[in-house]
Amino acid sequence: MLKRGEDIIKVRVITENEGKAKEFIELGRAFGISVEIIRAPKIEIQSEDLREIAMYSAVNALTYVKDRVIVEDAGLFIDALNGFPGPYSSYVYRKLGVKGILKIMDGVSNRKACFKSVIAYAAPAGSVKIFEGVVYGRIALNAKGREGFGFDPIFIPEGESRTFAEMSVWEKNKYSHRARAFKKLAEWLRTAFKASDTHT
């Protein structure tokens, strides 16, 4: 964690998702990074690869933020559905909801799934870096819980019996894909900023 007297490293996160914003602020606290949320839309390309989507969005955001910025793209990948809904999770959530996924998964015995998060960091000096986090688990038989957002009510991480939506932000951050990606970002930022006093 951050030592007293050390400069606070600040990053701007572009997101319009209040659930994500809440998690990022909490993650910033946990890892000693000052997180500023910029509630702006981001341009996202269509791709089955979260890394491509996130990198493209980050570089695009850099052109108007003009300072170091991160964007995150995440998705729920269900084994039995060839990775669906994947990068289109938020769209599928808006259209079909958790009920739609439970209907598609009705009678499907292989419930394996994972949440993936990709954080793309872009800085004016020209660096773009990717940090990935994954949490494995399974699709619940029924939706449970009211915390979190998106498909949290139907995802049970490995080693747990509760869904993400049955956990507080703090608890979810112990397991979550987003927390794992953010931890890597925080460690890299700390090393990078120690190596350079110019802070760019």
Identify the residue among 7, 43, 64, 127 touching its own copies (CB under 8 A): 43
Residue 85: φ, ψ to 5°? -85, -5
Binding residue (CB under 8 A) for its own copies from 6, 7, 48, 187: 48
Complex with its own copies: residue 40 or 43, whichever CB lies closer = 43
DSSP 8-state assignment for residue 106: T
Count of residues engaged in binding its own copies, rule: CB under 8 A:
22
Cα–chain center distance at 109? 27
Measured from the CB atom, the residue of 52 and 147 that comes closer to its own copies is 52
Q: How far are the Cα atoms of 43, 93, 116, 190 from residue 59, in angstroms, in the given order?
A: 10, 26, 20, 21
b/e map 76-98, b = 16+ CB within 10 Å? bbbbebebbbbbebbebbeeebb
Say whether 106 is catalytic. Answer: no
Question: For residues 19 and 83, which CB has a smaller minimum distance to its own copies in the complex?
Answer: 83
Per DSSP, the residues of 135-153 read EEEEE-SS---SSSSTTGG
Residues 68-107 that bind its own copies (CB under 8 A): 81-86, 88, 91-92, 94-96, 100, 103-104, 106
CB of 70 to its own copies, least distance (A): 18
| Among 7, 49, 67, 73, the one annotated catalytic | 73
Which residues are known catalytic residues? 73
Residues binding its own copies (CB under 8 A): 43-46, 48, 53, 81-86, 88, 91-92, 94-96, 100, 103-104, 106
